[in-house]
Chain A
Amino acid sequence: MKTTKFNVFRIFILGVFFVLVSTPTFAISDEPEEEEFKVTEVIMHHIKDAHDFHLLDWDGHPISIPLPVLLWTENGLVAFMSSEFRHDDSGKVIVERNGQKFVKYHEEIYYASNSADENGTYMLFNEEHDPLNEHPFDFSITKLVFTMFVSMLLLILIFGFSARAYTKNGVPKGIAKFTEPLVVFIRDDVAIPNIGERHYKKFLPFLLTLFFFIWINNIMGLIPFFPFSANLSGNIAFTFVLALITFVMTTILGTKDYWKHIFWMPGVPVPLKPFLALIEFAGIFIKPASLMIRLFANITAGHIIILSLISLIFIFKSIWVSPGSIFFAVFVGLIEVLVVAIQAYIFTMLSALYIGSAMEKHEH
């Protein structure tokens, strides 16, 4: 048994060695007339939204899953599949619906110009190469929206099952054994200390949903194959909505005391009060904005770092870089597993803290 294992291992090592040795040779024998590898473009393409779900390139042709495009145009709602653009992302393919022509340029859908320019692009640009065309409101089920739906489905399945995985006297079985400590953690370490015993029950469902929604999307971003891999929680629109909900909640729930502490801080000399009021007033907006940017920047940065490390192989055009590159990518990936959990926790904790401070009644 031991020897077979060892043999397998030896063959594996040999195989890796031959691959390492032979690939550069083949690479050299191929004519080096490939187009230049643009790191920034590849990375940006990955971390931004897209209208179809790109799986892989096969023999130079992209293979992707088409997703529905929904546009709110001047003539009403327009819907078609993104495959009608035939993988074009430079505004060369026109899709005609309701007497309107659309082109896709850098994953943005515009009304097409009447005639193509010298590159065959139905677009108008200014000197800085920014598109001048009008664009309809784009409510497409994009890659990120699709991912979001997948995450919703997963969450509902996971927690729906764990809600049913209890015996009659409340003992968790199966998946509930895993989810229950997390739920209890949010309750005991996030909701109760920050909001307080009295009010926390009202906000617990919100905080739980927030935490698990962020966390599962963070994790899904780290898994590099099909229904996952999208950078949803590293998209500013996503974090914007979540931070906005927290902001609206604190603003609506704010007690008289809370507003008093913002605009006329008690216990401070009067000449100081206007300045403090200014700072505190700015704080109302800065707090949710920092929530938004913190999550967005952390997750996006994580994706960028991993992709950059992988890209090193293609930048140096050498297979010899790959062991180091892959080692560091795996290393950063492991750190990211920790980071995504911490970021979900921090977002939830700070939301709870802001809500708690809005509900607080001070004793003077």
Chain B
Amino acid sequence: MDLVTPDVGLIFWTFISFVILFFVLKKFAWKPIVGTVNDREQSIKDALASAENAKKEMKNLTADNERILKEARAEREIMIKEARDLKTKMISDAKEEAKVAADKMISQAQEAIKNEKKSAIADLKNQVASLSIEIAEKVVENELSDKEKQLKLVEDMLSDTTLN
């Protein structure tokens, strides 16, 4: 029976001991130990999260790079295209200009030729006129002498004269 009868003195000391132990350990052991463990777990969690972030950022960065590269490539493409266009345009422009110039020169030349021709014809006309006048003079002179001769002369004259 006295094995299962709690002893007052021991109850008293157990209670005191437990309370003291509780406060001492709480202050000097549990708080620092649990605090350290929690801090460490928190820091591990944080580190993992930041690593994840860094990974994501890296991914973003790579994506960015790719994008920039693509843009650059596209830009280059555009520039090249522009240059090509410019070249062709320049060539065609030059061709056009040359053609225009040539046309102009040709037309000028034609004009000149025409003018020359005109002046030549006019000259010829003048010569023909003066020739005919001369002939007429001579004819007139010959007529005065002989009619036959006169006619012969006109004929000769006319055969001599070829319209060039």
Q: Does A142 contact B (CB under 8 A)?
A: yes
**B62-73 near A? 1/0 per residue, CB < 8 Å:** 000000000000
Of B8, B9, B21, the residue contacting A145 (CB under 8 A) is B9
Q: Does A103 contact B (CB under 8 A)?
A: no
Q: Does B107 contact A (CB under 8 A)?
A: no
Q: Does A348 contact B (CB under 8 A)?
A: no
Q: Does B162 contact A (CB under 8 A)?
A: no
Q: Does B102 contact A (CB under 8 A)?
A: no
Which chain A residue has the least Cβ–Cβ distance from B27?
Answer: A205
**When A208-B30, A213-B18, A237-B14 are in contact, do A159 and B25 touch as well, CB less than 8 Å?**
yes
- Most chain B C-beta atoms within 10 Å of own C-beta, residue among A44, A145, A300: A145
Q: Does B163 contact A (CB under 8 A)?
A: no
Q: Is the CB–CB distance between B29 and A159 below 8 Å?
A: yes
Q: Is the CB–CB distance between B26 and A49 below 8 Å?
A: no
**When A156-B21, A163-B32, A242-B18 are in contact, do A209 and B9 touch as well, CB less than 8 Å?**
no
Of B18, B21, B36, the residue contacting A166 (CB under 8 A) is B36
CA distance A35 to B118 in the complex (A): 174
Q: Does B33 contact A (CB under 8 A)?
A: yes
A204 / chain B contacts, CB cutoff of 8 Å: 30, 34
CA distance A59 to B30 in the complex (A): 48
How many residues belonging to B are interface residues under a CB distance threshold of 8 Å?
A: 34
Q: Does B116 contact A (CB under 8 A)?
A: no
Name A's interface SS: helix
CA distance A142 to B7 in the complex (A): 11
Q: Is the CB–CB distance between A142 and B25 below 8 Å?
A: no
Q: Does A241 contact B (CB under 8 A)?
A: yes
Q: Is the CB–CB distance between A156 and B24 below 8 Å?
A: yes
Q: Is the CB–CB distance between B10 and A162 below 8 Å?
A: no
Q: Is the CB–CB distance between A139 and B3 below 8 Å?
A: no
- Most chain A C-beta atoms within 10 Å of own C-beta, residue among B2, B13, B20, B21: B13
Q: Is the CB–CB distance between A139 and B13 below 8 Å?
A: yes
**A203-216 near B? 1/0 per residue, CB < 8 Å:** 01110110011000
Q: Is the CB–CB distance between A145 and B29 below 8 Å?
A: no
A:114-158 near B, CB below 8 Å? 137-142, 144-145, 148-149, 152, 155-156
Q: Smallest CB–CB gap between B20 and chain A, Å?
A: 7
Q: Is the CB–CB distance between B17 and A209 below 8 Å?
A: no
CA distance A170 to B44 in the complex (A): 11
Q: Is the CB–CB distance between A152 and B3 below 8 Å?
A: no
Q: Does B144 contact A (CB under 8 A)?
A: no
Q: Does A13 contact B (CB under 8 A)?
A: no
- Residues of A whose CB lies within 8 Å of any CB of B are 44, 47-49, 70, 137-142, 144-145, 148-149, 152, 155-156, 159-160, 162-164, 166, 169-171, 176, 179-180, 183-184, 187, 204-206, 208-209, 212-213, 235-238, 240-242, 245, 296, 300
